[in-house]
């Protein structure tokens, strides 16, 4: 990146001629390799799929669990889109085949921040927004929040455990166990990251109506990490969703990682997402 931080990225290619490109924007305390199953499904549709480990996450450089602002993540994403457009060549450029983004949780907040800053800087056909981080289900008390904000000024890069139980991610025991044992996960954040998150959420709440790109938001009402009611309130504030092809689907009882729920629950979610992509390419 322009500040010298190196980002680890991964790329999946279809067997035949590509018909679209999808960038995966992963969530917090994880990495892009956790989306290999999703990438395989997308490549079966003819997609080229790529994505980074965000700075401070996975195998990427930077201070673990740290960022100065979510606009920094968004700038990284724009740089990666441009890098891969050049790498893949003219036959896979946004003018030749459609490009989409797929952001989950923290990646959903990064995607929305990206669209506020860069929706006209790179040609995307649409964005899938999965359980975006627009407020936490696990509430932080006023005293603890005050303490974090104070520490952010004095020790902005101090390591603070995320405190999210692995069993909150989904209802697939095997996936929960893989997540628990995953050595690539960064399980801490910094006070400055927490402040940056709050600033990004507040900005999205204020400005989300400026986003014109087609979007499909989806979330589960059983999410124990991200507050589904707050997400629905933010989507409801969009002034002209029909005019911009912006929709939302609420899945009753689903946990945070809808793409990692047990197979019989996961498949309807993925089928709808695939149908959304197919209808717009």
Structure tokens at 114: 């990206």
**Among candidates 109, 100, 213, 195, which has minimal Cα distance to 154?**
195
| Distance in angstroms (rounded) separating the CA atoms of residues 259 and 79 | 27
Give tens-digit pLDDT for 26-72: 999 999 999 999 999 999 999 999 999 999 999 999 999 999 999 99
For 9-278, the fitting CATH number among 3.40.50.1820, 3.40.50.300, 3.40.50.150, 3.30.300.30 is 3.40.50.1820
Given a contact cutoff of 8 angstroms between Cβ atoms, the answer to whether 240 and 247 are in contact is: no
- Residue 183: pLDDT band (50, 70, 90) is very high
Given a contact cutoff of 8 angstroms between Cβ atoms, the answer to whether 12 and 92 are in contact is: no
Give tens-digit pLDDT for 62-121: 999 999 999 999 999 999 999 999 999 999 999 999 999 999 999 999 999 999 999 999
Of all residues in the chain, what percent carry a pLDDT higher than 90?
90
Instruction: Supply the pLDDT for residue 155.
Output: 85
Domain borders along the chain are 9-278
Instruction: Supply the pLDDT for residue 94.
Output: 98
Instruction: Supply the pLDDT for residue 148.
Output: 66
Instruction: Supply the pLDDT for residue 138.
Output: 73
| pTM of this prediction exceeds 0.85 | yes
- On average, the pLDDT of the chain sits at 95
Whether residue 198 is predicted with pLDDT greater than 60 in this model: the reply is yes
- Residue 144: pLDDT band (50, 70, 90) is low
Structure tokens at 149: 């904000």
- Residue 147: pLDDT band (50, 70, 90) is low
| Distance in angstroms (rounded) separating the CA atoms of residues 200 and 238 | 17
Instruction: Supply the pLDDT for residue 51.
Output: 98
């Amino acid at each position: 990146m322009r500040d010298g931080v190196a980002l680890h990225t991964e790329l999946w290619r279809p067997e035949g001629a590509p018909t679209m490109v999808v960038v995966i924007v992963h969530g917090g305390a994880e990495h892009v390799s956790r989306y290999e199953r999703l990438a395989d499904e997308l490549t079966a549709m003819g997609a080229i799929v790529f994505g980074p480990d965000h700075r401070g996450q996975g195998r990427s450089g930077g201070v673990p669990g740290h960022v100065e602002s979510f606009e920094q993540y968004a700038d990284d994403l724009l740089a990666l889109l441009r890098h891969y457009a050049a790498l893949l060549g003219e036959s896979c450029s946004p003018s030749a085949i459609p490009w989409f983004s797929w952001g989950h949780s923290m990646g959903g907040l990064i995607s929305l921040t990206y669209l506020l800053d860069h929706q006209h800087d790179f040609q995307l056909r649409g964005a899938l927004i999965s359980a975006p981080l627009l407020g936490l289900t696990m509430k932080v008390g006023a005293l603890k929040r005050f303490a974090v904000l104070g520490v952010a000024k004095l020790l902005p890069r101090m390591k603070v455990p995320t405190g999210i139980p692995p069993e909150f991610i989904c209802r697939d025991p095997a996936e929960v166990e893989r997540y628990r044992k995953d050595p690539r996960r960064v399980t801490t954040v910094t006070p400055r990251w927490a402040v940056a998150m709050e600033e990004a959420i507040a900005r999205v709440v204020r400005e989300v109506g400026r986003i014109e790109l087609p979007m499909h938001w989806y979330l589960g009402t059983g999410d124990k990490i991200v507050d589904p009611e707050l997400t629905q309130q933010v989507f409801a504030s969009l002034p002209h969703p029909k005019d911009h092809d912006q929709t939302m689907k609420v899945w009753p009882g689903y946990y945070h990682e809808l793409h990692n729920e047990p197979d019989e629950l996961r498949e309807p979610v993925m089928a709808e997402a695939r149908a959304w992509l197919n209808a717009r390419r």
